[in-house]
Each structure stands twice: as structure tokens, then as C-alpha cells.
């Protein structure tokens, strides 16, 4: 079975008990997620949640001026749409596909029914929410205190952790929107990483050539987020 067709490629779904899988898996719908697709926007009722398998989704805040900044990324380790089981039903952020791929969609009501059974899924979702909150908080600190080079390294490593390959399709303009910086800053930072042999950037495709080099260059924010995610989620799709 290919990665996108296997619900267990999503770590939350993989960690469900056999009984929960029998209840939930028949209601999952495999959907393609094109680059730039909007899953939800501010103040709109969230009707579905998404469990990515090969896609990556960015959670973004957009200002009245049109300026934007990414607050978190969600991939195969998580779920998009935590507002549904947290009781909010809507959110002030956007969820936009950052890297094209696939995800499994589940109706919001179906998720809530399963969540309130207070079984494995509830514990998983609450732990994942704490990990996501850590990522959001650390992203805010990183954007305030670290260089664009360091922010780009963090963003690349977080993306790599959620992708099946070392290639990303992403323009510098989109990266600038994600990081909330000027495009010129991303161009300069990408140039530094390419000059040092860490990445290759050609026509909207970024290939990571030296992951260890990125890990040596990145600020502590990446390690803080990864350590907390591994602690809460076990670093493996089981509890």
C-alpha cells in the first residue's frame, strides 16, 4: 500500500486501538491536497478535520494589511482542525496546504463522537494539542529573536520531518509569507545555505543536501519543538 493510501502513515491514526480503527477507518475519506489549497479560514465553521499522510499544512495568521506569518506546520504527525474537539468550532487562523500530497478527511461530528468516548483517540488528541501549542509558542519566539537564516533552517527541518523525501516545492515568495519576512531576506538566507552546500534551490524546488549541516546551523527552537513532540507523542506512532 502506498503512503498516501495508508491511514497508518498518519501517526495519530496509527496509534488508535484496533477497536477504534474498526469504528473510525470506514468513515475516513482520502483526499488530494493541492499546493495552496485553503482548508479553513477565520470565522468560518469548521466541518471536517484532516489527518495528513503525505501533505503538509501551514497554520497562518493574516493581518489586515495582507502581511502573514506561519504559526505552525502540521503533517503526518498530526491533525488539522483542533478547534472542533476543543469546543471552538471556528478559529482566527488560516489552514493552507504548504506541500501538496494527501490526507484523510473525517467529519467534525464523527470526530467529536469518538473524542467523547474518552478512549485512546482523546488522549492522543490532547497530547498532540499540547505539542502544537509548544510549536506555536516557539515559532513566536523564533520570529522575534533569531535571524532569517536560522528561521529558514528551522522551517526546512520541520518540513523535512513531515515529508517522504528531501525535496520541497516552494517559491521564495511563499517562504517569505510563511516566515513573515521580506522576500529579499529569504533570497539572501537561501543563498547562504546554497553557498555552503546545505541546499540546492532551482525554480521553486528546494533540495536539502546536508541535513546535519542544517541541524548545526539552526537555532534551539527546532530542537525544543522536536523534543517536546517526541516526548508527548512517543516519537513513534504508538503510545
Residue 237 pLDDT: 41
- At residue 143, the pLDDT reads 83
Long-range CB pairs of 200-208 (<8 Å, 24+ gap) are 201/172, 204/169, 204/170, 204/171, 205/167, 205/168, 205/169, 206/156, 206/167, 206/168, 206/169, 206/170, 207/166, 207/167, 208/156, 208/160, 208/166, 208/167, 208/168
Tell me the domains of the chain and their CATH numbers: 3-142 (2.60.120.10), 147-218 (1.10.10.10)
For each successive 10 residues of the chain (239 residues), what is the average pLDDT?
A: 79 94 96 94 92 94 84 95 88 91 96 90 95 93 89 92 87 79 86 93 89 94 92 61
Question: Which whole-number Å values give the CA distances from 232 to 22, 139, 168, 235, in the listed order?
Answer: 25, 18, 27, 8
Q: Write down the pTM of the prediction.
A: 0.89
Q: In Å, what is the CA distance from 176 to each residue of 101, 145, 183, 188, 192?
A: 22, 17, 5, 11, 16
Q: Cα separations (Å) of 189 from 67, 147, 149, 182?
A: 20, 9, 5, 11
Q: What pLDDT, on the 0 to 100 scale, is given for residue 164?
A: 84
pLDDT value of position 72: 93
Amino acid at each position: 500500500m502506498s503512503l498516501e493510501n495508508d491511514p497508518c502513515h498518519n501517526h495519530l491514526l496509527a496509534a488508535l486501538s484496533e477497536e477504534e480503527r474498526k469504528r473510525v477507518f470506514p468513515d475516513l475519506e482520502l483526499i488530494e491536497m493541492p499546493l495552496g489549497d485553503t482548508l479553513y479560514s477565520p470565522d468560518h465553521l469548521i466541518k471536517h478535520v484532516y489527518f495528513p499522510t503525505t501533505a503538509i499544512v501551514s497554520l497562518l495568521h493574516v493581518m489586515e494589511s495582507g502581511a502573514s506569518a506561519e504559526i505552525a506546520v502540521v503533517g503526518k504527525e498530526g491533525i488539522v482542525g483542533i478547534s472542533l474537539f476543543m469546543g471552538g468550532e471556528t478559529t482566527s487562523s488560516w489552514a493552507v496546504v504548504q506541500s501538496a500530497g494527501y490526507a484523510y478527511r473525517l467529519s467534525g461530528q464523527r470526530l467529536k463522537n469518538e473524542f467523547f468516548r474518552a478512549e485512546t483517540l482523546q488522549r492522543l488528541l490532547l497530547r498532540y494539542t499540547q505539542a502544537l501549542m509548544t510549536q506555536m509558542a516557539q515559532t513566536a519566539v523564533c520570529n522575534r529573536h533569531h535571524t532569517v537564516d536560522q528561521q529558514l533552517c528551522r522551517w526546512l527541518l520541520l518540513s523535512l520531518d513531515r515529508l517522504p523525501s528531501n525535496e520541497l516545492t516552494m517559491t521564495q515568495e511563499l517562504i517569505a509569507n510563511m516566515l513573515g519576512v521580506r522576500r529579499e531576506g529569504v533570497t539572501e538566507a537561501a543563498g547562504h545555505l546554497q553557498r555552503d552546500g546545505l541546499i540546492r534551490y532551482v525554480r521553486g524546488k528546494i533540495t536539502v543536501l546536508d541535513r546535519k549541516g542544517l541541524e548545526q546551523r539552526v537555532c534551539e527552537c527546532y530542537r525544543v519543538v522536536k523534543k517536546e513532540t517526541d516526548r508527548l507523542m512517543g516519537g513513534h506512532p504508538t503510545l
